[in-house]
Structure 1
Amino acid sequence: MRVRKFAFAVLAACAALTLSACQDDGSGTAQGAPAAAPTTATGASPGGGPASGGQASTGPASGAPGKGGTSPTAAPTGPAGGGQSTKCKTSDLTITAADRTITGDAENTVVVELKNHSGKDCTLSGYAGVDLKTSAGTLSAKRSGEPVVTGVVKTGKSTYFGISYPANTSGGSGVRITGLVVTPPDETHPVTLPWPGAGSLPVTDGSGSPVKIGPMGSAGQGE
């Protein structure tokens, strides 16, 4: 009986010694416990470069600004300078007028040519200003009301518009025409030309101008 009690006491002492050896040694970390895992991002080495065989490091993407840099500017997609022609000025144009009356027509016709000699393309849109110098004073033409279309007049090329007016069939002298004044659209500088058409207009009752004009491009060279 005493032998059994002694053996039990020896076993208990050994167990106590073993447990003491496994306890915290004061360092705060249990012996044999695994250390905390490092906080390095997945796929990147501690030095910041890509891990061998892993994913690339998370630096700036291609085209994105780097440290201290700026974003690249996208190249313009439209044509340089907007690709638009400037408006034709009076100084860009050689302006002439010619009689284009066709026998049998109810009205007489003068066609005005505007030729671009500027060395660059320009645009003409709308109605010109047209005044006839007459023995009774200045007579301003009325617009025909035809639709306006913007047209590019290439350098060395021309555009045309027509002036229509009634023939003087009264048998009298009528109103004598002495000159033609043309001002291109959106311009303030006129050009004075010799009048190429019939020499006179019939006398009217003053209810309105008998002279009408079309917009730019409304007449052709042969009209």
Structure 2
Amino acid sequence: MVHGRPGRLLVGALAVLGLVGGCAGGHGSGASSASPAGGTASAAPRTSASTPGPSASAPAPGTPTAATATAPGRGASTAAGGRCHTSELRAFVGRDDPGAGQENFPVVLTNTSTRTCTVYGHPGAAFLDASGRQLGADPERSSATPPVRITLAPGRSAWAGLSFSSPEVSGARAATPVTLLVTPPDEHDPLRVRWTGGPVPVSGNASAVRLTALAAGTGP
């Protein structure tokens, strides 16, 4: 009985080794990943390719990506930036484009801020003399062009057409303003622009000054 035990132990050990060898042959790369000591340089890529799962560079579950970092419902208003405020705009008057007894000036608003904002509708306008008194009535709002919402990226502009009959042609009483006040739509604070366009009608027949709604760009 004593002499039979080493034989049985040897047979048992060989059986265990055979079982381990069979498992390694049947699962291949799975055995390499489970046993770091037996892994090889070529086994690592096979394990990665055969085992689905997030890569090292993928964000953890629930982490917002660049496309989803903005809270829902705020993307559009953030992109547009809301209404342009007076402090974010610069105003100037472009060159006269006369025709058929009419004087036509583009009144331009430019976004000088670092954000994108919007303008919509008619700006306000008023002519002032050297002492700051208003000359004539406020310009009438023209319906020649329907209002549209204009998105102004930094540095971009919108313009409104300021037109009136030439006083020399219409015979209206005229005055030469020094300043044109321009108030952006839905704002209360005006921008002051030096007026160099000559006389404007302030009373009498055909004395109306008209202003169109804002359009994209700096003029026609």
What TM-score bracket applies, with the shorter chain setting the length? Answer: 0.5 to 0.7
Query: Does residue 162 of structure 2 align to residue 163 of structure 1?
Result: yes
Local SS of the residue matching 1:94: strand
- Structure 1 residue 154: deviation in Å? 0.8
How does 1:67-86 map onto structure 2 within 5 Å?
80=70, 81-84=74-77, 85=80, 86=82
Q: Deviations over 1:138-166 (max 9, x none)?
A: 42000001311001011111111110011
Change in 2 beyond 3 A, CA 1:96/1:79: farther
Select which of 208, 216, 221 maps to 2:218.
221
How does 1:167-186 map onto structure 2 within 5 Å?
167-169=166-168, 174-178=173-177, 179-186=179-186
Amino acid at match of 1:210: A
Report the counterpart of residue 126 of structure 2 in structure 1.
131
Local SS of the residue matching 1:91: helix
Change in 2 beyond 3 A, CA 1:162/1:150: same
Report the counterpart of residue 39 of structure 1 in structure 2.
none
131-140 or 83-92, which deviates more: 131-140
Local SS of the residue matching 2:103: strand
Contact 2:137 2:202 in 1 (8 A): no
Report the counterpart of residue 195 of structure 2 in structure 1.
195
Contact 1:98 1:110 in 2 (8 A): yes
Contact 2:127 2:134 in 1 (8 A): no
RMSD of aligned residue pairs (Cα, Å):
3.1
TM-score of the superposed pair, with normalisation by structure 2: 0.57
Q: Deviations over 1:37-84 (max 9, x none)?
A: xxxxxxxxxxxxxxxxxxxxxxxxxxxxxxxxxxxx9x8x98823322
Equivalent-residue separation in structure 1 for 2:148 and 2:170 (angstroms): 40
Q: Deviations over 1:92-116 (max 9, x none)?
A: 11111123223x3331011111111
- Structure 1 residue 210: deviation in Å? 0.6
Change in 2 beyond 3 A, CA 1:79/1:157: farther
- Structure 1 residue 215: deviation in Å? 0.5
TM-score of the superposed pair, with normalisation by structure 1: 0.56
Local SS of the residue matching 1:99: coil
Report the counterpart of residue 93 of structure 1 in structure 2.
89
Equivalent-residue separation in structure 1 for 2:114 and 2:97 (angstroms): 32
Local SS of the residue matching 2:215: coil
- Identify the structure with the greater helix proportion: 2
Amino acid at match of 1:83: A
Q: Deviations over 1:153-191 (max 9, x none)?
A: 111111111100110125979321312111000100001
Equivalent-residue separation in structure 2 for 1:138 and 1:201 (angstroms): 7
Equivalent-residue separation in structure 2 for 1:184 and 1:136 (angstroms): 18
Runs of 4+ in structure 1 over 6 Å off:
none
